Structure 1
Amino acid sequence: MQSATNAIEGFMILLGEIVSAFLHKIDQYEVRLKDLLWQVKENNDTKLLNKIAENRHEILVWKNFLIPFIEVKTGVVEAFGEKYTENVHFKRTNYRFERCQNLVRAYEEEIRGLIDFEDVVSSFRGNEIMKTLTVMTVLFTPVMALGALWGMNFDSMPELRWKYGYAGALILILISTLLVYWFLKAKGWTGDMLKSKKKQKYVD
């Protein structure tokens, strides 16, 4: 402040120190964001989605903090003319401000990328769950159909008196289930849901 030759320079020095404090806070935010980027790979769950939302809110707060600086910077030029833009203190403060803007813009893009990534993973999980439930329902359709048939109380059901009726029913259920599975497998509708899975990332 003692190096300032007028009030405008002193004000820009003060403003530059405030922006410098913002930069320090943004550097701390950068560390947390990097940790979050790697957590997405290691542990992708609802808690992590909440962290992403918190970081997105924080970056919006940073953008809101920068708006008054835009007004002040343009206001100085508007009120006192462009001759003050050549001052070293104005330039230093302006460089710091532009650095803040660039960092906030870059981090906002990273947050947007994380949200898009979460959307892709959530959609993939939802599709896999629905596909799995559908395949399992189709596989057990013969069991449910035959169980409903033999659960009826008709007077004339000769298979109930067969000596090997129970074994025959089990064999019929097994064969019909295997036929349904073979049909689904031949069509390629089972995907990788029935394959053994090793430890994976992102979509565990």
Structure 2
Amino acid sequence: ILLSEITNRFLVRIDDFEVQLKNIVGKLQRNNNKNKLDQIFQYRQKLITSKSLLIPMEELINAIEETFLNEVVKTLEFNRVRLRIKRAMTLVQHYQEEMETLLHLEEAISSYRGNEIMKTLTVITTIFTPVMALGALWGMNFKHMPELEWKFGYLGSLILIFVSTIAIYFYLKFRGWTGGILKERKKKSLF
């Protein structure tokens, strides 16, 4: 009877935990950041603590059954506590799996976002390389720079910069290397 009441308290705590877990999943869908990851680890710690407290109770039930055999197995209280402990352990294991899934999801989202950031920086750097290279070249102070004497040298350099930048952009787009970085992010998307 005492074990049954203790286990019942665990079941109430697990129900509270379920509500917290549903809240964190909803928050992750709306806004994914470092604080949410910290909350996931705190909830994971609560689960580990609950499981470590339930394991001795499960062991005690097995010891009682081993000691008293058929006498105790027939009692209503023993069967009730055995079922409560079994239910609590099942719930804890289920929520542990859900927490691991959340952590893997968080890891995948972070990895994807990091890759997209690196891809974006690479594409931007590649697209603006002609502008920077030609600007650096014409910023030098050499004595003999024939294009400075040309009548349409300034216009020609602007056209060269513009055409080379557009050519690189379309080459990257044609090869599929820009991916979705130039498209707007959907509001409900985790990515």
Structure 2 counterpart of 1:147, from 135, 152, 170? 135
Q: Distance in 1 between matches of 2:174 and 2:142?
A: 38
Tell me the TM-score normalized by structure 2. 0.93
- The Cα of 1:179 is off from its aligned counterpart by 0.8
Q: Distance in 1 between matches of 2:34 and 2:182?
A: 26
- 3-state SS in 2 of match to 1:122: helix
Q: Deviations over 1:100-133 (max 9, x none)?
A: 0111011111111111111111111111111111
Q: Distance in 1 between matches of 2:21 and 2:34?
A: 17
Number of the residue aligned with 1:130: 118
Q: Distance in 2 between matches of 1:141 and 1:133?
A: 12
* Partner amino acid, structure 1, of 2:182: L
Structure 2 counterpart of 1:165, from 145, 153, 166? 153
Range moving further from structure 2, 188-197 or 157-166: 157-166
Q: Distance in 2 between matches of 1:118 and 1:136?
A: 27
Q: Distance in 2 between matches of 1:196 and 1:92?
A: 56
- For structure 1, which runs of at least 5 residues remain unmatched after alignment? 1-12
Q: Deviations over 1:74-119 (max 9, x none)?
A: 2212333342122111101101111101110111111111111111
Q: Deviations over 1:116-167 (max 9, x none)?
A: 1111111111111111111111101111211221122221112223343222
Number of the residue aligned with 1:78: 66
> Are 2:167 and 1:201 aligned?
no
Q: Distance in 2 between matches of 1:197 and 1:99?
A: 42
> Are 2:175 and 1:187 aligned?
yes
How many residue pairs match? The answer is: 191
Which aligned runs of 4 or more in structure 1 are off by greater than 6 angstroms? none
Q: Distance in 2 between matches of 1:34 and 1:199?
A: 20
Contact 2:29 2:188 in 1 (8 A): no
Q: Distance in 2 between matches of 1:140 and 1:153?
A: 22
Aligned ranges for residues 92-107 of structure 1 at < 5 Å? Answer: 92-107=80-95
C-alpha RMSD over aligned residues: 1.5
Q: Distance in 2 between matches of 1:20 and 1:47?
A: 32
Q: Distance in 2 between matches of 1:145 and 1:30?
A: 58
> Are 2:104 and 1:116 aligned?
yes
Q: Distance in 2 between matches of 1:119 and 1:87?
A: 48
Aligned ranges for residues 39-58 of structure 1 at < 5 Å? Answer: 39-58=27-46
- 3-state SS in 2 of match to 1:22: helix
% of aligned pairs identical? 48
* Partner amino acid, structure 2, of 1:179: A
Tell me the TM-score normalized by structure 1. 0.88
